[in-house]
Amino acid sequence: MSGSTHYEDLAGRRFGRLVASHRSYSKKYYPSFYGATWVCKCDCGNICEVLAVNLKTGRTRSCGCLRSDNASMVIEKNRKTPSGKKHSYHGEMMTVREMSDRYGVKTATIYAWIQRGKDLETMLDSFLRRREMRNEEVSI
């Protein structure tokens, strides 16, 4: 078998959202040391060319639609925290937006603290202390 290269037949096999259709001989991944390339059909209907090694190792699992779907899920998950919900800061109840406007902390940072179960008073106090220390260093 010297001189010939044997490629595993992946036709009809599923890899995440992709189903391998047939081997591709296009120049997309030229030279051939990249390995065999397969034409795959994604569950969303798109057709794409993927290296066999990426299919087999799980590096490529969709045409790119999986990344957008995952991003959409993360955005949706973060929206589940009601924006009108009030949080306590030293006895004063305020929304995340009010905290952000008043203390100059990004709303995304405050939501991240909430998601991680951090104590808002502790986190906000340490943030403000660090900012004061930085300002003092600059003015000296």
The CB-based long-range contact list for 44-50 (8 Å cut-off, 24+ gap) reads 44/17, 47/21, 48/18, 49/24, 50/18
CA distance linking residue 72 with residue 59, whole number of Å? 20
Query: Which alpha helices (H) appear in the chain, and where do they start and end?
Result: 52-57, 65-79, 96-103, 107-115, 120-139
Q: What are phi and psi of 137, to 5 degrees?
A: -65, -40
| Radius of gyration (C-alpha) of the chain in whole angstroms | 26
Residue among 111, 59, 118 at smallest CA distance from 85: 111
* Mean pLDDT over the full length of the chain: 79
* Local structure of 32: helix, strand or coil: helix
20-32: per-residue pLDDT in tens?
Answer: 999 988 776 655 6
Beta strand 86-89 pairing with 37-42: unpaired
Token pair for residue 86?
Answer: 């009030």
Instruction: Give 60-83 pLDDT, tens digit per residue.
Output: 999 988 887 777 666 665 554 455
- 8 Å CB contact between 90 and 121: yes
Domain boundaries, the chain: 14-62, 79-139
Confidence of residue 126 (pLDDT cuts 50, 70, 90): confident
pTM of the complete model beyond 0.75: no
